[in-house]
Structure 1
Amino acid sequence: MSMRIFLTPSATAALMLALPAFAADDAQSFVNKAAIGGMFEVDSSKIAQDNAKDQQIKDFSKRMISDHGAANAKLQKIAGEQKLQVPTQPDAEHKSDLERLQSTTASLDQPYVEMQRKAHADAVSLFEAYAKEGDNPALRSFAAETLPTLKMHRDMIEKIAGASAGLPAVKTASTPKPPAPVPGANSFTEAQAKKRIQDAGYADVSALAKDEQGVWRGQATKDGKGISVALDYQGNVFAGQQ
C-alpha cells in the first residue's frame, strides 16, 4: 500500500513519514492516501497473480487482494459516513507503477516485490501516525485496527525479498542480530532510517547516506560522544561500523 501522495491543497501539514513529532494528516488527506494506496495494492496484486513466477509471490499477492479489498471496503464505508470523498482512480505515480508491471517483458517478480516493500513501509508509517494523532475518531480507530495487518504484510514481503535475493530473512524478535550490517535492497526512507537509529538510543543523527550495499550510514552521538552508525535493510542498527 503505497502512500507517498499529496492530493489535497487543504492539508495543513505534510506527513513526515516515521516522525511522530509532526502532526498526522487531516481526515480527508488520510482517506485520499489510504484509498489510493489500497487500490494500488489490489490492482498490482491482480497483475502479479496472473504473471508472477514465484509461488510465494503468487500467494502473497492473493493475500493482498483479500486483505486490502476488505480494508478498502471498510474505509469507503467509514468515509461515506463521515461525508468524506473517496478517490476512485490512482494518481499519476501509482498509475505509472501499474503500467510498468503490466508492460514488463521480463519477470515482474522483482519489481512487484520492491514496490510492495516500499508501499508497506509507507503504509505502516501513515497508519501509525493517524492512529496516534488523527483528527477523526472513526478513522483513527480504523487506522489502529488495520495497522497490525499492515505490519504483518510488511514482514511477509521483507522475508520474501530476503529469500529471493539469497539473503537472511528480515529480523524478527527471535532472530539473533548479525555481527555486521546485512547487504540488501533497503526500503527505509532517510527519515525512517533516522528514527530507527534514534529509537536505538542515539541522538543528533546526521549525514545519512545509503551505500552501494543498501546500508544507511551516518553520524550520531551517544553518551555525549560522536560515533558512526549504520542501519541495514532488516532494521538492525550498528555503531562504529565502517
Structure 2
Amino acid sequence: MKFHLLSAALCTAVGLGFAHPALSAETAQDFVNKAAEGGIFEVESSKIVQGKAKDQDANDFAQKMITDHGPANAKLQSIAGEQKLQVPAETDAKHKSDLEALKSSNGSADQSYVKMQQEAHADAVKLFQDYAADGDNADLKAFAQQTLPTLKMHKEMIEKIASGKTDNMATTSTAPAATGTDQNASAPVPGANSFTEAQAKSRIQDAGFANVSGLTKDDQGIWRGTAEKDGKQVAVALDFKGNVVAGAQ
C-alpha cells in the first residue's frame, strides 16, 4: 500500500507546514528541551508502528528512526549533562497525545504515523538548522550541525513515503533513502557526517559487503575502511548521504 490516496485535507496540511509555527530555540536549555522531546517522540512513535504498518516503506522508516534517533538522543543527553543542562525524560503533552492516538488506532495507523513524522521532521530540521547557525552554546551548536544532514535525509524520506514516490527507496530497513547506496559513484560526497562507526559498518554491510574493518572518519566527514565483496578485498567509503562507494580513495 502506498500513500497515493492521502486526503486533500492532509495534503493541504503538509503544504502549509500543518498550520503551526516551526520550532525555534532561544537558549541552550530551550534547544535541549525541544530536541529531546522531539527525539523521544520520533523513537516512541516508531516503536508503536514498527512491524505493524501495512506499508513496507513505513515499516522501514520506523526502524530507521529507532536506529538513528536512539544514538542521537543519547549523544544529546551526554552533551547536555556536560553543560549542566536538564534533559526531559519524556516527550511533551502534544506528542504524548499523538502517541496515545497511535496506540488506540483501529486498523492501520500508517497515515497517522506518516503525518506525525512529517510534522516532527519539519520542526526538527527548522530547530536544528536555526541553532546550528545561531546557537548560544558551542558544543550544542556543533551537535546541531552534525545531526542536521541526517534529519534532512529523514525529512526527505518521509515526504517521499507520503507522496507515494519512494520507488523502493531503500533496499534494507537501515539504508538512507535520500540517495541510497551507490557503489558505482566515482567518489563519496564530503559533508558533516552524523553516522557512528557502528552505523557506518551496518550500512556498508547492508550494501553487500562482508568483513568490514578499519573504519575511520576523515576530515571530510567520510567513513573509510576495507571490506570483502565477491571474495575480493576492496576499499569502501560511506558519505554523509549514506552512499556506499567501493574502491574509493
Task: Give the TM-score taking structure 2 as reference length.
Answer: 0.57
Task: Give the Å deviation of 1:106.
Answer: 2.2
The 4+ residue runs of structure 1 with deviation greater than 3 A are none
Q: Does 1:131 pair with 2:136?
A: no
**How do 1:187-202 residues align onto structure 2 when only pairs under 5 Å count?**
none
Q: Match for 1:17 among 22, 33, 47?
A: 22
Deviation at 1:24, TM superposition (A): 4.5
Most deviating of 62-71 and 47-56: 47-56
Match for residue 76 of structure 2? 75
Structure 2 residue aligned with 1:92: 93
For the residue of structure 2 that corresponds to 1:51, the secondary structure is: coil
For residue 105 of structure 1, what is the aligned residue in structure 2? 106
User: What amino acid is the match of 1:138?
Assistant: D
Deviation at 1:101, TM superposition (A): 0.2
CA drift of 1:25 comes to 1.9
Counterpart contact for 1:24–1:133, Cα < 8 Å: no
* CA contact 2:33–2:88 (8 Å) conserved in 1: yes
In structure 2, how many angstroms separate the alpha carbons of the residues matched to 1:119 and 1:72? 15
CA separation in 2, counterparts of 1:124 and 1:74? 17
The percent of aligned pairs where both chains have the same amino acid is 63
Asked if structure 1 preserves the Cα contact closer than 8 Å seen for 2:42 and 2:65, the reply is yes
Identify the residue that residue 236 of structure 2 maps to in structure 1. Answer: none
Taking only aligned residues, the RMSD between alpha carbons, in angstroms, comes to 2.2
- 3-state secondary structure, aligned to 1:37: helix
The question of 1:66 aligning with 2:67 is answered: yes
Corresponding position of 1:26: 27
Q: CA–CA distance in 1 between the matches of 2:25 and 2:90?
A: 23
Q: Structure 1: give runs of 5+ residues left out of the alignment.
A: 1-15, 166-171, 173-242
CA displacement 1:171-227 (0-9 Å, x = unmatched) = x9xxxxxxxxxxxxxxxxxxxxxxxxxxxxxxxxxxxxxxxxxxxxxxxxxxxxxxx
1:165-180 correspondence to structure 2 within 5 Å: none
1:47 is matched with 48
Q: Structure 2: how far apart are the matches of 1:83 and 1:144?
A: 21
The count of corresponding residues between Structure 1 and Structure 2 is: 149
Specify every segment of 5 or more residues in structure 2 that has no aligned partner in the other structure, as ranges: 1-20, 167-177, 179-249
Counterpart Cα distance in 2 of 1:24 and 1:98 = 24
Tell me which residue corresponds to 1:199: none
Deviation at 1:58, TM superposition (A): 0.5
Q: 1:24–1:30: structure 2 CA closer, same or farther, 3 Å change rule?
A: closer
> Counterpart of 1:17 in 2: which secondary structure?
coil
